[in-house]
Amino acid sequence: MFNVKKILFPVDFTMNMEKVLPYVKDTVNAFGAKLYVIHVIRSAEEFVGFEMGTAWYAALEKDLMDGAEKSMRRLVAEQLEDLSDVETQIATGDVVDEVLDYVKKQDIDLIIIGTHGRKGLEKVMFGSVAEGIIKEAPCPVLTINPYKAGK
């Protein structure tokens, strides 16, 4: 029996995230599950070797954290207000590693993730977060292509 009580939704606060949200909410409601939402801010170490180095990014980290916390509060208040049990987390580090660590720590049963958050050069430089999570996740992963959602 597939028992889902804890669902994780990694978010990047893009328009694509909003296209995936209806599927997340429907799944949470169908299972009567608790929703966990995580956003990961890339750490300065991921920018080693870039022309500007890590110093410029490290200086922005506090602003990025403040912005992420504000975006998370807005997401919960405006788009998840109808869900009764939501827990949020903001983390810093490698996105895939932080998401997978959180999955293990919270004993998540299912991950729901959009497949297209980044494109082009940004995807080449940072890789596919969804792909990394799919390959390493200790639980099932439901992927949703936001460009085909609702069609």
Instruction: Find the domain containing 33 and state its range.
Output: 6-144
Q: Does residue 121 lie within any of the structural domains?
A: yes
CATH classification at residue 31: 3.40.50.620
Q: Does residue 12 lie within any of the structural domains?
A: yes
Q: Does residue 151 lie within any of the structural domains?
A: no
Q: Does residue 149 lie within any of the structural domains?
A: no
> CA nearest 16: which of 113, 92, 120?
113
First to last CA, the chain: 30
68, two tokens:
């992420």
**Pair 12, 41: CB distance under 8 Å:** no
Q: Which residue do the tokens 């207000």 mark? A: 81
Kindly report the pTM of this predicted structure. 0.84
**Pair 143, 114: CB distance under 8 Å:** yes
Number of folded domains that form the chain? 1
Provide the residue-wise pLDDT of the chain in tens; the chain has 151 residues.
Answer: 678 999 999 998 888 888 899 999 999 999 999 999 999 998 765 555 555 555 555 567 778 888 999 999 999 999 999 998 999 999 999 999 999 999 999 999 999 998 865 555 445 444 588 889 999 999 999 999 887 776 5
92, two tokens:
């810093």
